Amino acid sequence: MKFSKNVLMPLVTAASLLVAAPVAVAETFKMAVGDAAGGTQWELGTTFAKLFQQKTGGKHKVDLFPNGQLGSEEDTINNAAMGTLDFSILAVNNITPFSPTVGLLTMPYLIQSADEAKKLTLGEVGKELTDNTVRDAGVRIVGWAYSGFRVLTNSKRPVKTLEDLKGLVIRVPKNEIMISAYQAWGINPTPMSWSETFTGLQQRVVDGQDNPYITVSAMKFYEVQKYITNIRYIFSLEPLVVSESVFKSQKPEVQKAILEAGQEATEHSFKYLLETEDKIKKDLAARGMQITDPANGEKEWIAKATTAVWPKFYKSIGGKEKLDRAQKVLGR
Q: Which of 135, 106, 74, 90 is nearest to 322 (CA)?
A: 106
List the strands of the sheet with 190-191, edge to edge.
Answer: 190-191, 170-172, 208-211, 151-154, 227-229, 290-292
Q: How does pLDDT run across 155-188, given as a tens digit for each residue? A: 999 999 999 999 999 999 999 999 999 999 999 9
CA atoms within 13 A on the CB side of 160: 7
Is the pTM value of this prediction over 0.85?
Answer: yes
Strand partners, 227: 154, 290
Which tens digits make up the pLDDT trace of 126-160? 999 999 999 999 999 999 999 999 999 999 999 99
pLDDT in tens, 259-293: 999 999 999 999 999 999 999 999 999 999 999 99
**Which of the pair, 13 or 320, is modelled with greater confidence?**
320
Largest Cα span, the chain: 98
Report the pLDDT value the prediction gives residue 3, as an integer from 0 to 100. Answer: 40
| pLDDT bracket for residue 26 (50, 70, 90) | low
Which neighbouring-strand residues pair with 148? Answer: 236
At residue 12, the pLDDT reads: 37
Cβ(318)–Cβ(104) under 8 Å?
A: yes
- The secondary structure of 184-249 as a DSSP string is HTT---EE--GGGHHHHHHTTSSSEEEE-HHHHHHTTGGGT--EEE---S-EEEEEEEEEHHHHHT
What's the whole-number mean pLDDT along residues 70-77? 94
Q: How many Cβ atoms from other residues are within 10 Å of residue 163's Cβ?
A: 11
Q: How many CA atoms are closer than 13 Å to the CA of 32, on its beta-carbon side?
A: 24
pLDDT at 11: 35
Q: 146 in helix, strand or coil?
A: strand
What dihedral do alpha carbons 283, 69, 107, 178 form, nearest 10°? 90
Percent of the chain with pLDDT over 90: 89
The pLDDT tens digits for 299-320 are 999 999 999 999 999 999 999 9
